[in-house]
Structure 1
Amino acid sequence: MLRVVVMVSGGGTNLQAILDAVDAGRITNTEIVGVISNNKNAYALTRAAEHGIKAECISPKDYESRAEFNEALIGGVDSYQPDLVVLAGYLVVIPPEMIAKYRNRMINIHPSLIPAFCGTGFYGLKVHEAALERGVKVVGATVHFVDEGTDTGPIILQKAVEVENGDTPEILQHRVMEQAEWKILPKAIDLIANGRVKVEGRRTVIED
């Protein structure tokens, strides 16, 4: 049974997609053991609590230094003894020590087809604003392992979504969530839970 900790900053729609997929049997061999947010007002914490999952806030604001926060965050994650850490809209920089500790055991969902519209400064609506400004016809989402760079780890799954006439950043954001993010994040967790993802250098291989 794969023990999963989900890290969130806001509403938790991707967390909800994971919980729904576990309930529906689309994610197998998996238990969500905890949810951690940097924001005590994140609705994601309510979603977790309503699902009977331990939820807590570990915020940089509650610590005098970033080093103290990093130590508390790593300790908080470690306390769940997770096999996999899922960043589902988590907007705090992950400490390098944590990345090293959970090498190839931490994944992130990004709302673009990496390597387009990714890296420092590309998050949330900014991604979709940039895509519309550039006039691309296809956008999408990517699930990848987390490494020391920003959105540079080995890619696990990607799904394309078409841009439509009249799209605003908000409309496009929701379509990417609905058609891509909420589908490939649960699928990636299920693949990992069933031992089907292998990392080879900067690439992944999905085994049949």
Structure 2
Amino acid sequence: MRSITISLGRFLLLAVAAVYYILPLPARRRRPAALGFCRRGRRRISPMEAAAAVASRCSGVRCSPNRTHKQRRQQRSAPRVGFVSQPQPRAVCCKRSPHPDARAHSAAAAAAAVGEKVGEAGGDGAERKRKRLAVFVSGGGSNFRAIHEAALRGEVNGDVVALVTDKPGCGGAEHARGNGIPVVVFPKSKSVPEGVSTGDLLNSLRGLGVDFILLAGYLKLIPVELVQAYPKSILNIHPSLLPAFGGKGYYGLKVHKSVIASGARYSGPTVHFVDEHYDTGRTLAQKVVPVLANDTPEQLATRVLHEEHQVYVEAVAALCEDRIVWREDGVPLIRSRTNPDEYT
């Protein structure tokens, strides 16, 4: 009886083993990687990593975040696998771009457009060197102020770097000191012992790198040494239409009194280059001002001075922009800023 029981037990064990090894067990459920798991191992990946993986497979293509109808239907019909799925990155519908380097082409086109604009503005794109100006005054210096203010506004491609005067207490000198412009007193005399000599003045101007000299109501005759050191680089403004009413002794109200007394119907300022004599240099620009029947010297002077401020600034601007052209007979002309074929 005991042997029968042992045999029966062995038979049952063999039967169980046969069933275990012969019959297939249910397939082990696998959690798909698309739902946030790696296929190898059990490490969970984040939605951001899944999105990065999708993006890496779609590099170089233009993608749309909208899912297709087929993808939505497959997602709805997908069986649940026994756990709560994590939010999945949205499926993408990819279409290859006809120009993968479109942004590079756009950047190159934009750079080319900018280059064309720079070329139109400045030729080779380089800015002109600003000229350094020295202004000579003997009085209030209204023309000096007009030039200085125009330079500050950018209308003149230059900077006033020195003011030279024979009267250190004049209005022009005070304006220069108030704006940080060095004041040089010239010439030296008994009444002005602090003045400098011609040689010292030249050294000062050269030390400041002065390109042009502008006379704005300066009553002294310019030394020959200075004229020779700055050929075709010294301008003066006179309150009459030269060569009429010019020369030694013609300045201020004396000019306007002479114009009215002569019966002249027109007057106006003249901008001219400076030579070794009073008011005999080549004329560069003029403005005509009518003389009215009942004009006083003061009234005429006011209207002429208004034109002086405009014509002198225009002439200095042309000088600083290298738009002065000398004709074969020695007459200076101003080339138009907008049309190089026009001269005044």
Distance 2:138 2:207 in 1: 20
Percent of residue pairs identical: 35
Shift of 1:81: 2.0
Distance 1:37 1:181 in 2: 20
Aligned residue number for residue 152 of structure 2:
23
Distance 1:126 1:63 in 2: 24
Deviations 1:112-150 (A, max 9, x none): 111111122211211111101001111000111111232
User: 50-59 or 191-200, which moves further after superposition?
Assistant: 50-59
Matched, 1:132 2:260: yes
User: 117-126 or 71-80, which moves further after superposition?
Assistant: 71-80
- Larger Rg, first or second structure (1 or 2): 2
Does the residue aligned with 2:136 lie in a helix, a strand or coil?
strand
Aligned residue number for residue 187 of structure 1:
314
Consecutive unaligned residues of structure 1, counting only runs of 5 or more, are: none
One-letter code of the match for 2:136? M
Matched, 1:89 2:217: yes
Distance 2:165 2:260 in 1: 30
Shift of 1:77: 3.0
Distance 2:190 2:132 in 1: 27
TM-score by length of 1: 0.90
Distance 1:72 1:25 in 2: 31
Task: Judge conservation of contact 2:215–2:234 (CA < 8 Å) in 1.
Answer: yes
Distance 1:95 1:78 in 2: 16
One-letter code of the match for 1:100? Q
Aligned residue number for residue 37 of structure 2:
none
One-letter code of the match for 2:325? K
Matched, 1:79 2:210: no
Shift of 1:111: 0.6
Does the residue aligned with 1:108 lie in a helix, a strand or coil?
strand
Shift of 1:156: 1.2
Point out which structure has higher relative CO (alpha carbons under 8 A, 6+ apart): 1
Question: What is the root-mean-square deviation of aligned Cα atoms in Å?
Answer: 2.0
Deviations 1:14-64 (A, max 9, x none): 11111121223322x211111111101111011112222222322432599
Does the residue aligned with 2:268 lie in a helix, a strand or coil?
strand
Shift of 1:82: 0.9
Matched, 1:104 2:232: yes
Deviations 1:73-94 (A, max 9, x none): 3333333221100000011111
Task: Judge conservation of contact 1:99–1:148 (CA < 8 Å) in 2.
Answer: yes
Distance 2:217 2:204 in 1: 18
Task: Judge conservation of contact 1:143–1:185 (CA < 8 Å) in 2.
Answer: yes
Matched, 1:203 2:311: no
User: 184-193 or 70-79, which moves further after superposition?
Assistant: 70-79
TM-score by length of 2: 0.56
Matched, 1:143 2:240: no
Aligned residues: 204
One-letter code of the match for 1:20? E
Aligned residue number for residue 163 of structure 1:
291
Distance 1:69 1:51 in 2: 25
